[in-house]
């Protein structure tokens, strides 16, 4: 599969490394386990004006007819996705909004979704999104299939981000690894850096983030990010993450 872009963002962020994917995405949809419940994210980008502090992907306009046209295209996208799915699955959650999301199946411009162990991102420009749908193609622009290592690391990072804690036994039983061996490099780095600054406490069976460590959570997570390890940022990121 040909890579079309190398993102410099890390695994803990929305997007990683993407490759070109129309057929790949069709395959993911066709291989979906229909017994699994789906969570959906629908990107609704229209606002009447752009707030100065907004960092979201929005289209600022007072023309409601443009938003109505977008809804028609969303319907087309949903129909197209349904045609590629083996059977209908149950949907348990629907998120509507303007913040590009991951971990859900995404609809609408620029949405990032997770389908069948891969991240996929839709076209970011309205014109591209519309023209792909007009020609009967799924409006997917980029995608990335997670490796086994990506999945382990994602689980560790999510646990740190969401629970401020990693239970080695839980990761070991989920992924069939020995945490201490698999992450020996990371544990040594964690112990020398954040551990010695009392930002994390590392015990035999777990890592816990301290109250002070919560201010540096992203720095702590970055230690488990293989992509950042292989290509460290050119400038120090310490202050930018606080």
Site for ligand SF4, rule CB under 6 A: 47, 50-51, 54, 56, 58, 98
C-alpha–C-alpha distance, residues 79 and 191, integer Å: 51
Smaller CB distance to ligand SF4: residue 55 or 136?
55
**Min dist. Cβ of residue 63 to ligand SF4 (A):** 15
Smaller CB distance to ligand SF4: residue 50 or 151?
50
**Min dist. Cβ of residue 199 to ligand SF4 (A):** 32
Query: Is 224 in contact with 186 (CB distance < 8 Å)?
Result: yes
Smaller CB distance to ligand SF4: residue 37 or 64?
64
**Min dist. Cβ of residue 120 to ligand SF4 (A):** 23
CA distances from 230 to 136, 216, 225 (A): 39, 21, 9
**Min dist. Cβ of residue 47 to ligand SF4 (A):** 3
DSSP letter, residue 31: T
What are the DSSP calls for 100-113, one per residue? ---SSEEESTT-EE
**Min dist. Cβ of residue 61 to ligand SF4 (A):** 11
**Helical ranges in the chain per DSSP H:** 22-30, 64-84, 126-134, 148-163, 168-175, 179-182, 184-190, 217-222, 226-230
Measured from the Cβ of residue 3, the count of other Cβ atoms closer than 10 Å reads: 11
**Min dist. Cβ of residue 59 to ligand SF4 (A):** 10
Which token pair is 140? 């997917």
Which token pair is 18? 């993407």
Smaller CB distance to ligand SF4: residue 22 or 58?
58
Smaller CB distance to ligand SF4: residue 56 or 78?
56
C-alpha–C-alpha distance, residues 242 and 233, integer Å: 16
Which token pair is 240? 């930018």
Per the rule left: phi > 0, alpha: psi between -120 and 50, beta: everything else, 136 is left
Smaller CB distance to ligand SF4: residue 51 or 185?
51
Smaller CB distance to ligand SF4: residue 96 or 148?
96
**Do the strands 165-167 and 105-107 form a parallel or antiparallel pair, or are they unpaired?**
unpaired
**Min dist. Cβ of residue 130 to ligand SF4 (A):** 21
């Amino acid at each position: 599969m040909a890579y079309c872009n190398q993102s410099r963002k890390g695994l803990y962020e929305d997007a990683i490394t993407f490759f070109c994917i129309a057929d790949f995405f069709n395959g993911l949809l066709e291989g979906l386990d229909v017994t699994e419940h789906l969570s959906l994210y629908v990107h609704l980008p229209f606002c009447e004006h752009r707030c100065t502090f907004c960092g979201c992907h929005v289209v600022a306009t007072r023309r409601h007819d443009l938003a109505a046209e977008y809804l028609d295209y969303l319907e087309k996208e949903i129909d197209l996705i349904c045609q590629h799915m083996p059977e209908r699955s149950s949907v348990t959650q629907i998120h509507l909004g303007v913040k590009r999301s991951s971990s859900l199946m995404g609809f609408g411009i620029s949405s990032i979704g997770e389908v069948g162990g891969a991240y996929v991102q839709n076209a970011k420009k309205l014109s591209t999104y519309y023209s792909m749908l007009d020609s009967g193609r799924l409006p997917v622009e980029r995608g990335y299939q997670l490796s086994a290592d990506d999945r382990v690391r994602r689980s560790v990072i999510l646990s740190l981000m969401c629970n401020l804690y990693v239970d080695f036994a839980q990761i070991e039983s989920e992924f069939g690894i020995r945490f201490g061996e698999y992450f020996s490099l990371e544990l040594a780095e964690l112990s020398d850096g954040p551990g010695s600054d009392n930002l994390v406490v590392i015990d035999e069976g777990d890592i816990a983030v301290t109250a002070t460590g919560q201010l540096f959570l992203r720095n702590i997570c970055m230690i488990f990010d293989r992509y950042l390890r292989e290509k460290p940022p050119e400038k120090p990121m310490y202050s930018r993450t606080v």
